[in-house]
Chains A and B, each alone.
Chain A
């Protein structure tokens, strides 16, 4: 099974900050990587698919990058409504999620 490791597990940042979340796969996943946002009490919401494609309706401050085993989600200017937990998910071999990064306001 492919293991996904996210870091950090908790991130505190201020409104307007550029925020970078990391996701590392245990083997090459060939960019088959999606990102989700989950707010408290809600279902996950798709943000980015295939490493860097923005899902319809998602603000352009969200972007994704990466290749091989290392991937990144960037929020260019943090907004209060971005407080949530973010999960990466690989689909190169079946499906597995990272443990999540909880993003809070400083």
Chain B
């Protein structure tokens, strides 16, 4: 069974950093492109970052470029995102998801909440 489980969320102060992680199981992790998304309370889904299978290519949404960094460890079946210079508007549920071979996000984690507040 494919599973994605996020961790690392919490309450942090503006300007601080946090790492959210996603551990995968039930599939050959190294064969799949992975993504991070977020969803602010009562809001839509925002795509944040992409990483290809061997980490040679990444891409970010303009809203987080230069502040967030995606990485993966195929030996540990994990994809992480380092969040830096956090702002109140970064408060959201953060999800990781697998991109299927057909270009859709076919499996999602349950999400991890990040709250940025003083």
Residues of chain A whose beta carbon lies under 8 Å from any beta carbon of chain B:
1, 32, 34, 36, 38, 42-46, 49-50, 53, 55, 87, 89, 91, 94-100
Contact = CB atoms under 8 A, between A and B. Distances in A.
Contacts of A49: 100, 102-104, 106
B41 to A, nearest CB: 12
A-side interface mostly: loop
Nearest to B109: A43
16 contacts: A34-B103, A34-B105, A36-B105, A43-B110, A44-B95, A49-B100, A49-B102, A50-B104, A53-B102, A89-B45, A91-B103, A95-B47, A97-B45, A97-B47, A99-B44, A100-B45
A98 B44 contact: yes
A44 B100 CA distance: 15
Contact residues on B (Cβ < 8 Å of other chain), bracket? 20 to 34
Contact of A43 (B103, B104, B111): B111
A32 B109 contact: no
B108 interface: yes
A94 B35 CA distance: 11
Contacts of B106: 46, 49, 55
Interface string B73-115: 0000000000000000000000101001011111011110000
